[in-house]
Homo-oligomer: A and B are copies of this chain.
Amino acid sequence: MSMEKRISMAVIRRLPRYFRYLSDLIRLDIQRISSKELSERMDITASQIRQDLNCFGGFGQQGYGYNVQSLNEEIAHILGVDRRFACILIGAGNMGKALANYENFRRRGFDITAIFDIAEDKVGTQINGIKVHHIDTMAKYLHRHPTDIAMLTVPNRTISDITDTVVKAGVLGIWNFTPTDLRLGDNVVVENVHLSDSLMVLGYRLNELRRNREAQGPGSV
């Protein structure tokens, strides 16, 4: 068992958001913040914020608020952004290129060390200074360069060979942009990113907004 108290995934999924907002406050030179003020900025209820932050120690003081810097550092530590992760990117298509060019990832501790693709015209080129290798050389590369995370931006049909190779090579995390939810057992963590899901939720909310407006009649804007 781990010594650290197990924090629920629902709380964990909110932590990056706290981290972003607190980082903004630091840039604005704000040193203390109450749960009420943070609540207004983040559009989360103050009680939810107090409950979340209590999960890992409760840094707030009644009538004083939270120390922005130390709260941010603690969240960074819990999230592990003070550590570095070696990553490979599989798939040098448009999404692969977009990810390889995200400077934010490196700042958050995620270093893309190599890119793999099957297309001969991409192999040997560089994206944002990172070399594209042929996918057939991936197993060998992973053997020589211990890697934490594989970012997957390839078509569905090629997935299973690729996940076999990376999991056998000891990669522990998969960031999955393919349309299929990957489930690879308890020895690998997978974060599935489904952009279509997010867009469908937007479509739903837009229809709901429209229905509510129509119900309010033509006078409403």
Contacts and interface: CB of A to CB of B under 8 A. Distances in A.
Contacts of A211: 2, 4
Contact of A204 (B15, B42, B98, B201): B15
A105 B200 CA distance: 9
Contacts of A28: none
A187 interface: yes
Interface residues of A, number: 64
A112 to B, nearest CB: 11
Main secondary structure of the interface of A (DSSP, over half): helix
Contacts of A97: 94, 97-98
Nearest to A13: B201
A62 B42 CA distance: 43
Given A189-B209, A196-B108, A212-B2, A78 B204 contact: yes
A172 interface: yes
Task: Please provide the 3 A-B residue pairs with the shortest distance between their CB atoms, ordered closest to farther.
Answer: A16-B197, A94-B98, A189-B205
